[in-house]
A and B are shown apart, each in its own frame.
Chain A
Amino acid sequence: MTSAPVTAVVRPGRVTAEPWPVRGLLLGIAGVFLGLFLVLPLVAVFGQALAKGWEAYWAALSDPDARSAIRLTVLTAAIVLPLNVVFGVAAAWAIAKFEFRGKSLLLTLIDLPFAVSPVISGLIYVLVFGAQGWLGPYLAAYGIKVIFAVPGIVLATLFVTCPLVARELIPLMQSQGTEEEEAALVLGARGGQMFWRVTLPNIRWGLLYGAVLCNARAMGEFGAVSVVSGHIRGLTNTLTLHVEILYNEYSFAGAFAVASLLTLLALVTLVAKQLLEWRVRHAGRAARAGPGPAPEEAA
């Protein structure tokens, strides 16, 4: 191969390619764009977090308010994740394996939370559970607090993360078809056995992938929880809200320290995403390939 310092190589065999200067230009543009929008912010988070040194960093993270914010964030995710996983599996099962009227409507509807602004996602719960809301008087009568309390935060998070697992599982289960499940039934399996032994193992990577995304979104949600939270320090602040509070108080290093925690979570999510994406594509492709080309034909 060539020994010249090459920064970009066109895939071998591709006779039709852009001339060198154009390729360099495109690479440069892409590089600057991504560097500006992706790399710099990342660097900024960690740079600012450590601007006052390691001690200040740890102090910010072990501050009691920070700790309770961590607890609340983890608690929210721990509640939201299993609920949305069950929803995702149920929705994907109904949509991917059966035909029924209104299926495409349901598919479109499931995407709704994605299209709605986070602030509106929080507002709607205020309208239902808030003091002036539909259930406001009843809740007040029983002394149940939803808005400005943890249940409200959980609900708002449930709303924004609800489609994630379903959207991941639906195409996966569609591409896997119904034959394996039918085969299990013909062989005498009951419904539960079929689901546990055949369906679940086939979707496990997609499920994990959806769960990882759901978790990242649940822990990182800001707009929706901001509206329902009430921002009560030590009680109804998630990590993202805590970041906001610190920032608005000009405790920049502290804000960035907490932000760095969330950034690390994001980076771990990205890694998990890459690993699982490969697995899921593998499972989907193996399903489509069916009885295709395979190792040597031995009689």
Chain B
Amino acid sequence: MAIAALLLRKRRVLPGFGLALGFTLLYFGLVVLIPLAALVVRSAQVPGAEFLRTVTAPRALAAFRLSFGAAFAAAAINVVFGAIVAWVLVRYRFPLKRLVDALVDLPFALPTAVAGIALTSLYAPTGWLGRPLAALGVPVAYTPLGVVVALTFVGLPFVVRTVQPVLEDLDAELEEAAASLGARRWQTIRRVLLPEVLPALATGFALALARALGEYGSVIFIAGNMPLRTEIVPLLIVIKLEQFDVDGAAALAVVMLAASFLLLLTINLLQRWSRRRRPAFGD
């Protein structure tokens, strides 16, 4: 009753709020929330001891190490190179720049399975890149390094696309002021530009990490999928499902889900941090 009175008093001028919000909540609840709840409930039904056993089994631990480790490595690579790519795209002029800029989004648009087989064909011992690298003693395909390569691919656009707008919005006057005060170019970059870009870099890292963590399609072809060595957690989940070990699959999945939630929250906080640093126009 109190709710009804509250809603009536605050009559909204624009129509359709109830309908829109109601449909949104219903749809989202049915499609997203309830299935996710099923996972949480199912994993809670797994007896505690069994849960721990599944999650700390050597095979599972190896998979976690690989999934998290490779994801971190890939995100870190993307931060460094993605920042350079963003810089080059924003600051320099060169032929086909529009094309390159559009191409950066390829990992967004390309199905992961296609990326998987393409990367494998490149880095396999018989591949265009794999052969010279193997000769140098650096095998890529069917090793953790291959996993890192695949995860770098899928995370590539995240850092670039997060840093680009920040660089574009940077006031040229900041650098000019620094130069007029006698700073060398690298000092300006380190002391003036880097702090401005830092929130975006952090956000991009977190986004790339989130993407890489649960990645499946682009990894399973190049990884080799050897248990305890090159097996990622999502694959382990699939294997357990195929063996009808639903409990085991749910246990592993809920750990990954928890990590995803944490990352999502972190990303949110980071985005709020970067929004405070640069007041968007029109606010």
Q: A–B direct touch, CB within 8 Å, in complex?
A: yes
Tell me the A residues contacting B by CB distance below 8 Å: 7-11, 14-19, 22-23, 26-27, 29-30, 33-34, 36-42, 44-45, 48, 83, 86-87, 90-91, 93-94, 97-98, 100, 106, 108-120, 123-128, 130, 132-134, 155, 158-159, 162, 175, 178, 181-182, 185, 191, 194-195, 213, 216, 219-223, 226-227, 239-241, 243-244, 247, 252, 255-256, 259, 262-263, 266-267, 269-271, 273-274, 288
21 contacts between A and B (CB under 8 A): A8-B93, A10-B93, A16-B176, A30-B88, A33-B81, A41-B153, A86-B23, A94-B17, A115-B214, A115-B260, A115-B261, A115-B267, A117-B260, A118-B112, A120-B256, A127-B38, A127-B250, A130-B246, A223-B217, A244-B113, A255-B117
**B246 & A132 in contact (Cβ 8 Å cutoff):** yes
CA distance in complex: A37, B238 (Å): 28
Q: Which residues of B contact A27 (CB under 8 A)?
A: 88, 92, 94
Closest 6 CB pairs of A and B: A117-B214, A220-B111, A191-B15, A223-B216, A222-B217, A124-B35
Q: How far is the CB of B44 from chain A (nearest CB, A)?
A: 12
**B114 & A263 in contact (Cβ 8 Å cutoff):** yes
Q: Which residues of B contact A181 (CB under 8 A)?
A: 14
Q: How far is the CB of A242 from chain B (nearest CB, A)?
A: 9
A9 partner, pick from B14, B35, B92, B188, beta carbons under 8 A: B92
Q: How far is the CB of B1 from chain A (nearest CB, A)?
A: 18
In the complex, besides A191-B15, A216-B108, 12 extra interface pairs with C-beta distance below 8 angstroms are A16-B178, A27-B94, A41-B153, A44-B127, A115-B263, A116-B36, A118-B217, A185-B13, A220-B109, A222-B217, A266-B109, A270-B106
CA distance in complex: A271, B106 (Å): 10
Given contacts A227-B238, A270-B105, whether A17 and B185 have CB atoms under 8 Å apart is: yes
Count A-B pairs with CB separation below 8 Å.
283
The DSSP consensus for interface residues of chain B is: helix
Answer yes or no: B20 CB below 8 A from chain A CBs. Answer: yes
Q: Which residues of A contact B92 (CB under 8 A)?
A: 8-10, 23, 26-27
Given contacts A115-B261, A123-B241, A126-B241, whether A34 and B104 have CB atoms under 8 Å apart is: yes
CA distance in complex: A252, B221 (Å): 12
Q: Looking across the interface, which residue of chain B has its beta carbon closest to that of A239?
A: B111
CA distance in complex: A271, B75 (Å): 26
Q: Looking across the interface, which residue of chain B has its beta carbon closest to that of A166?
A: B24
Q: Quick one: which of B12-31 are within 8 Å of A by CB?
A: 12-17, 19-21, 23-24, 27-28, 31
Answer yes or no: B203 CB below 8 A from chain A CBs. Answer: no
Answer yes or no: B54 CB below 8 A from chain A CBs. Answer: no
Q: Which residues of B contact A241 (CB under 8 A)?
A: 113
**A266 & B214 in contact (Cβ 8 Å cutoff):** no
**A26 & B234 in contact (Cβ 8 Å cutoff):** no
CA distance in complex: A11, B216 (Å): 42
**A87 & B24 in contact (Cβ 8 Å cutoff):** yes
B102 partner, pick from A98, A247, A274, beta carbons under 8 A: A274
Q: How far is the CB of A110 from chain B (nearest CB, A)?
A: 7
Q: How far is the CB of A79 from chain B (nearest CB, A)?
A: 13
**B264 & A123 in contact (Cβ 8 Å cutoff):** no
CA distance in complex: A191, B14 (Å): 8
CA distance in complex: A119, B63 (Å): 15
Q: Which residues of B contact A93 (CB under 8 A)?
A: 16, 20
**A110 & B28 in contact (Cβ 8 Å cutoff):** yes
**B111 & A288 in contact (Cβ 8 Å cutoff):** no
Q: Which residues of A contact B105 (CB under 8 A)?
A: 270, 273
CA distance in complex: A41, B89 (Å): 21
A259 partner, pick from B89, B109, B114, B213, beta carbons under 8 A: B114
Answer yes or no: B110 CB below 8 A from chain A CBs. Answer: yes
Q: Which residues of B contact A111 (CB under 8 A)?
A: 264
CA distance in complex: A33, B103 (Å): 13
Given contacts A23-B92, A93-B20, A162-B28, whether A119 and B237 have CB atoms under 8 Å apart is: yes
Q: Which residues of B contact A113 (CB under 8 A)?
A: 32
Q: How far is the CB of A288 from chain B (nearest CB, A)?
A: 4
Given contacts A117-B213, A120-B237, A222-B216, whether A90 and B20 have CB atoms under 8 Å apart is: yes
Q: Looking across the interface, which residue of chain B has its beta carbon closest to that of A29?
A: B84
Q: Looking across the interface, which residue of chain B has its beta carbon closest to that of A263?
A: B114
Q: How far is the CB of A5 from chain B (nearest CB, A)?
A: 11
**B14 & A182 in contact (Cβ 8 Å cutoff):** yes
**B111 & A222 in contact (Cβ 8 Å cutoff):** yes
Q: Which residues of A contact B134 (CB under 8 A)?
A: none
Answer yes or no: B143 CB below 8 A from chain A CBs. Answer: no
Q: How far is the CB of B102 from chain A (nearest CB, A)?
A: 5
Q: Looking across the interface, which residue of chain A has its beta carbon closest to that of B19?
A: A90
Q: Which residues of A contact B197 (CB under 8 A)?
A: none
**B16 & A112 in contact (Cβ 8 Å cutoff):** no
**A219 & B111 in contact (Cβ 8 Å cutoff):** yes
**B215 & A117 in contact (Cβ 8 Å cutoff):** yes
Q: Which residues of A contact B118 (CB under 8 A)?
A: 41-42, 44-45, 48, 259
CA distance in complex: A213, B263 (Å): 23
Q: Looking across the interface, which residue of chain B has its beta carbon closest to that of A216?
A: B109
B17 partner, pick from A98, A109, A123, A194, beta carbons under 8 A: A98
Q: Which residues of A contact B261 (CB under 8 A)?
A: 115
Answer yes or no: B100 CB below 8 A from chain A CBs. Answer: yes
Q: Which residues of A contact B32 (CB under 8 A)?
A: 109, 112-113, 159, 162
Q: Looking across the interface, which residue of chain A has its beta carbon closest to that of B88?
A: A30
